[in-house]
Structure formats: C-alpha cells, structure tokens
Amino acid sequence: MHRWRYQAINGVAVVVIMALAVAGRPTAVYVFGDSILDVGNNNHLPGAGVPRADHPYYGVDFPGGARPTGRWSNGYNLADLVAMAMGFKRSPPAYLRLVVRGLRGVNYASAGAGILDSTFAGTNIPLSKQVRNFGVTRAQMVTNLGATTANDLLSKSLFLIAIGTNDMAAFAATQQQQQQSGDVAAFYSSLISNYSATITELYGMGARKLGVVNVGQIGCAPLERAQSPTGACAAGTNALAAGFDDALRSLLERLVSGDDQQQHCLRGLAYSLGDLYGLMQTTITDPGAAGLSNVDDACCGGGGLSGCLPNSTLCGDRRRYLFWDYGHPTQRGAEIIASAFYDGPARFTTPVNLKQLVSAVAVYTTYNQLATMGCLNNVGLVTLLVVAVASNNAAAEVPAVYVLGDSTVDVGNNNYLPGDFPRADHPYYGVDFPGGGRPTGRWSNGYNLADFVVGFRRSPPAYLSLTGASSKSRRRHIREGLGGNPGKYIPLSQQLRYFGATRAEMVATLGASAATELLSSSLFLISIGTNDIGVFVAAQRQQISSSSPTTRPRPASSPPLTCPASSPTTPPPSLLAIVNVGMIGCAPWARLQSPTGECAAAANELAGGFNAALLRFLVESSSRLRGLGYSVGDLHGLMQATMASPSPAGFGLRNVDSACCGGGRLGAQSGCWPNSTTLCVDRRRYLFWDSSGHPTQRAAQIIASAFYDGQAQFTAPVNFKHLVLRSA
C-alpha cells in the first residue's frame, strides 16, 4: 500500500490518497439477468411452460460433447465469455444446478426473467428472487469464512447484470393485444424503481463493482422482423428499449454521485454500463466490420415464428450470423459483445469498460468542501474511482493528474472569476451531467475531455473552486498580450504560477524529495492553442475588411522554437499528455462565414502549421530534457477522420457541421442559451455541442478513447496509455 499526503493550497482541506492494490482478476463473478446470461437455471425449474434450452440444436458447438447446457446459444454465451476474459477457466455455475460455495461466483440468471415480478410470471426466476438467492449464497459464505472475509471477497467481485429485454417484450405485446398506447412513463418509473432497489439491496450485501448491460435493439431480432412484410426492424420496440436505456444510465449516475440533496448515493459503488443497443446498431449497420454476413435471420430456426428445434434448419456458417435463434446471439455474436464491453472502444461502455472496472484502484479523498465531487458524509468523505493500467498483472498507477489549457478541459475555473467572463454556468450547458443535469462550468452537455482522459469518476476539481487540485480556464493564451480580451481568462502563464503554488504547498507538507517523486510520476494534461489561432484569424479578417495591408500567414515558415536547458535542481515533469489544435476552421462559427457552410481552409492550415511546429519542439525538447516523456494527441487528424466518416460504421456520429445547442443556420447564429436555442434530438450523434466548436460529451469520449488507447495514427510517439505505463 502506498500513501501520499499533501495539504491543499488554502491550508484547510487535507487530501489523503491511498492506492489499494487489487489482484489481477476479481475474486468472483456473480451473474443476474435473463436468457442472454442463463447457463442452465431454467433446466431445474418445474412446469411445462418454463422456457428451456435443453434440446438440440442448442449447445451444438459447446466444448466437450456438443450438448445442450441450458444456454440459449450454439455454444458459450455472454456470461461465459466475460468470465473467461477476466481469467476464469469457466463461467460460474448455475445456482440451481448443485450446492455451490460461491467463492468463485454463481450464476442466478433465468431465461424469461424480468425486472418486474409480473413479467412472464411463473415461468422464470424474476430478478427479485435472484437477489434473494444470492442472499442465501452470501449467508453460507459468512458462515464458512466469517463476515469480514466474506465482505472483503464480495467487495472485489464483479456483479454482472443484463435484464430488461423481457419487460420490454411483455409491455409491447400487451399494448399490441389491447390496441392501445399505455403509460410508458409509468412503465419506465416502475422498472427503474425496481432496478434501483435491486442495486441497493446488492450493495447492502457487499456488492461494489457492477457490470451492467442495457437493453439492445430488440426490434431488430428475427422474431420482431418476422412481423414486418419487408423484414424491417420494429421501430416502436427499439424506441421503447432506447428510452429505458436512457433512464437506466441516469439511475446509475445518480446512485454513484447522489442527487441534488445528496440522497440515494452508494459510496464506493463503481460500475461499467455496456451499451448493447449502440453496439447492435453499429453491427447491423456494418456487419462486415465485425466479421458477420447475416444480421437479420436466425441461424437455427424455420419459417414464420418457429424456434430452434431438432428439426430446424441450421445455417451454413454459424460464425457469420449475429442471431442464433429468434432473439439470442450466436456464440460469435456473444464474443463480439463481450470483447466490446470488456476492453473494446470507449464508445460502447461508460464511464469505464469492464477490464478497467475489475482492475480499479479505490481512492479515498477527504475534503471539507468537496461537495461537487460526489457523495459526502458528515466528515466529507468522497470515494472516487481511479483506473489502474495493468500490464502483465502489474498495475501502473498515476498518483495525480494536473490539467492546464482552455475550454476543452475547463471544469469551472471561469465560474469563479469576477466580472464579465465567458462562463458555461447556464443552461443548456451540463444538461446531461450526472446528478441533476446542471451547468458545471464545462463547455459541454456533460463530461468533457479532461473527465474522460483522467479516468476519475470526475476530473480533479477546478483550482479556483477550492484553491485546490487543478488549474485550467476557458479563455487563455500561450502568449500573453496576443490580442483578445486581456483579463477575461486565466492565461497559461498564470495557470503555471498556480501550479507553482500547489507544488510549494506539497513540498512544505511532504518534503522536496517526496513531492518531486510524486510529480515525476504524475500526468500533466495540456490542451491549448485554439484561442491563439482564433484570435489571429479574426485579426487577419478584420485587417482585410478594413483594407489594411496584410499578408496571409504561412505556417510552414514558423519561427524556430528554443528548447529550454535542463536543470539538475528542477527536474521536468516526466509525463506530458498534449492535445494539439483541431480543425477549428470546421467549427460551426467558422462554417457560418461561408455561404455554402464549408470549412475555413485558412484557419485549418494555420492550425496545421502550429501543430507541426509543436511536434518538432517536443522532439527537440525530449532529447535535451532527460526523462521527459510525452504523447501528442492529434486532434486535427482525428477531427479530419471523423468528418470524413462520421456514421455509425465510423465514429457513431451523424452531424459534424452544426451545433447541437444553438440557433439559426448551422446552429451558429446564436449561442447556447435557454431563450434562443433549439437542442438537437440525439446529442450522442453530434460532434459539436455549441457554435464555438466545443465537442459534445459523446465526441469528447471519442477523442479521449482515441488518445488513450486508440489507433497509433492519432497519437505520437505513443498513446496516453503507453505514456502512463512509463511510471510503472
């Protein structure tokens, strides 16, 4: 165990960070849900109406004999593959199969089960009963191990939950039979209330790590497509599932962060939410990218609505089909899902993937004024999640993250500046932020780039919010006096002075040696330069309009940059994660200058020239500053690629030119304000949040994923993940 202690700048709040070592894999896996996870519980239920996968051709590809096992698949299912990805040789056994000790985990899932007890009642084990069964397992563990050991084991275990599909199907079927539109809001409320009670009950019995899977595009299952003469997906059923998924995501966010009254917060709870809906949508749109050729039909089935029976017709290549029967994935489909949720692209999991969740390091931070960071008890204890990067079972921890830059990483410093400053302190900023949809100072509808890159439950707090751990603001310049509005921001030079004050307090508390060691293994995230380019372009445009002589800038001939000499007494920070300047000429405000909405080529060229000079400078600096490591995230290149292929088959976006929150043409003729704004319908499909060009929460997630552990084309010389591994 490692401990670092230092005193915050105001001399009042004391931070204590304890990085707790976690084993290479979770102690056990406990599984709850429906047929996507069931490994045979229904085989042990009495009654003719119980749905069972106990006959061919179920299990035709299952290892060790090609026999039906109760899994609704031709082989392994999602529960098996997630468990094996985490290092287990096999999936936890079915609860009803035999008496199990529970030390490796237990599978309680039941085909046909719902969140509501009334869903297909009498033919399955509903979620509430599954949780009670877990209670029996836990009681046995406490008897055998003692309460302390049992609780410790459970706190490190993964609780995997996938349920809700049958509730949607039952509700939709009832509406169709009655030929009426039911109260969907009341239906969602009932589901979320039961889901919340389930999680709270599991938490009370020791659960701390939840792997939750939302409801997929059930309207695209063969059973639903068969209802359409053209084989099209059932849009209404998909919409029902999507609405529930939104409510589920909000519930999880509230449970870990608390609502505005700091109620219903489960301290220490961490989760990963797998977006099965989004993954299915992407896979169905571009099946070839996942190695599939058929995403419409059941591999095992017959005409009409017949199921998978011994007399069914099997497809030729089972690894090319998404669906095994009328609604369950093939083993190959389950592999695609498990891979995406365990350690796949960040676009399909939030806030972390399963691998990051099970490798998590608990960090406890004590502040007496940190109410905005999460759930507080009477003494101000906040539990945050820090993701440890694992390599060959050795976790590499970053003790701290220091963030400097502009509005792409500002988490609220400008809110504390007096006078007329640019602030994101009004709606609709923060409309999707967890814990009430409130403006936080982030220039986004929710989280921003700093939040996602840092990997904390939240970013380090704004420096000016409590004179503490992070310094950044919206409007600032690399060079003071570069025009603009002096005094309307905290320039980079002042941010560095704030950091100097932080460092001085650390030295006074820890001693110079310990403080230097901590800082040398900390990550310094820097994103700045956009405003300098913007101000320069605006000045050039103004000179042209006033007929003043001007020369178009030539980025290729930028002046040489001088590398600082290293100092033996002031070692440089070892880990720099730097984001270059994006294609600012493609922001909505820049496109608005063109009658056709085209990007401003000159602004993009200027940014490109600066980026090239920045990279040269870093290469030269790293050769002179011993021990300096850096990673440059190519925001310019990533934006170019995103705009070239924004669709779900590319980055999951549909609109890359307009502001989601704005008014008029391209959403850029007015700012993001409650009285002059039209919000876009699907905020997860937009690249830009406002007219200034700030990314939406979804776009920030794409950017962070690309820079942290994405393709090599968007980072140089290494990605952020490899940079962090240097501190191991």
Query: For residue 70, which of 25, 35, 105 has the smallest C-alpha distance?
Result: 35
Share of the chain above pLDDT 70, in %: 78
Other CB atoms within 10 A of residue 380 CB: 15
Residues whose CB falls within 8 Å of the CB of residue 312, separated by 6 or more in sequence, listed in order: 57, 300, 301, 302, 306
pLDDT band at 456 (very low <50, low <70, confident <90, very high): very low
pLDDT band at 454 (very low <50, low <70, confident <90, very high): confident
pLDDT band at 305 (very low <50, low <70, confident <90, very high): low
H-only helix segments in 634-719: 635-644, 697-709
Supply the pLDDT for residue 622. 84
Report residue 657: phi and psi, to 5°.
-125, -25
pLDDT band at 260 (very low <50, low <70, confident <90, very high): very low
Supply the pLDDT for residue 373. 30
Does residue 106 lie in a domain region? yes
Averaged over 698-723, what is the pLDDT? 91
* pLDDT greater at residue 363 or residue 464: 464
Which helix H or strand E contains 202, and what residues bound it? Answer: helix 184-204
Does residue 35 lie in a domain region? yes
Q: Which of 100-104, 420-424, 574-578 has the highest mean pLDDT?
A: 574-578
Q: Which of 52-66, 105-119, 145-159 has the highest mean pLDDT?
A: 105-119
* pLDDT greater at residue 447 or residue 175: 447
**Chain segment 155-182, per-residue pLDDT in tens:** 999 999 999 999 999 999 888 776 566 6
Does the pLDDT at position 412 exceed 60? yes
**Chain segment 613-667, per-residue pLDDT in tens:** 999 999 988 888 878 899 999 999 999 999 998 876 567 899 999 999 999 999 9
Does residue 405 lie in a domain region? no
Determine the Cα–Cα distance for residues 447 and 445; give it in Å rounded to an integer.
7
Supply the pLDDT for residue 481. 31
**Chain segment 363-409, per-residue pLDDT in tens:** 322 222 222 233 333 222 222 333 333 332 222 346 788 899 999 99
pLDDT band at 26 (very low <50, low <70, confident <90, very high): low
Share of the chain above pLDDT 90, in %: 54
In this structure, is the dihedral angle defined by the CA atoms of residues 184, 190, 194 and 200, taken in order, positive or negative?
positive
Averaged over 513-541, what is the pLDDT? 88
Supply the pLDDT for residue 236. 93
* pLDDT greater at residue 24 or residue 420: 420
Does the pLDDT at position 696 exceed 80? yes
Q: Could you give the number of structural domains in the chain? A: 2
Supply the pLDDT for residue 511. 80
Does residue 314 lie in a domain region? yes
C-alpha 577, offset from chain centre:
19
Does residue 124 lie in a domain region? yes
Supply the pLDDT for residue 500. 85
H-only helix segments in 511-599: 512-520, 530-545, 588-591
Domain ends where: 327, 358, 389?
358
Yes or no: say if 460 and 525 are a contact pair by the CB < 8 Å rule.
no
Averaged over 53-72, what is the pLDDT? 92
* Lowest mean per-residue pLDDT among 50-54, 352-356, 357-361: 357-361
pLDDT band at 319 (very low <50, low <70, confident <90, very high): very high
Supply the pLDDT for residue 657. 96
The domain of 60 spans 29-358
Supply the pLDDT for residue 544. 63
Does the pLDDT at position 471 exceed 60? no
Supply the pLDDT for residue 400. 81
Domain ends where: 358, 392, 419?
358
Does residue 187 lie in a domain region? yes
Q: Which of 416-420, 506-510, 518-522 has the highest mean pLDDT?
A: 518-522
Supply the pLDDT for residue 181. 62
Mean pLDDT, the chain, integer: 81
The CATH number of residue 245's host domain is 3.40.50
Determine the Cα–Cα distance for residues 249 and 447; give it in Å rounded to an integer.
14
Helix (H) and strand (E) counts in the chain:
20, 25
Does residue 420 lie in a domain region? no
pLDDT band at 420 (very low <50, low <70, confident <90, very high): confident
* pLDDT greater at residue 183 or residue 126: 126
Q: Which residues are catalytic?
A: 35, 325, 328
Supply the pLDDT for residue 364. 29
Distances (CA, A) of 177 to 181, 234, 327, 526, 647: 11, 16, 21, 58, 37
Determine the Cα–Cα distance for residues 581 and 603; give it in Å rounded to an integer.
11
In this structure, is the dihedral angle defined by the CA atoms of residues 688, 694, 696 and 699, taken in order, positive or negative?
positive
Does the pLDDT at position 274 exceed 90? yes
Does residue 552 lie in a domain region? no
pLDDT band at 711 (very low <50, low <70, confident <90, very high): confident
Domain ends where: 358, 374, 394?
358
Supply the pLDDT for residue 11. 25
Supply the pLDDT for residue 70. 95
- Label each residue of 124-177 as H, E or C: CCCHHHHHHHHHHHHHHHHHHHCHHHHHHHHHCCEEEEECCHHHHHHHHHHHHH
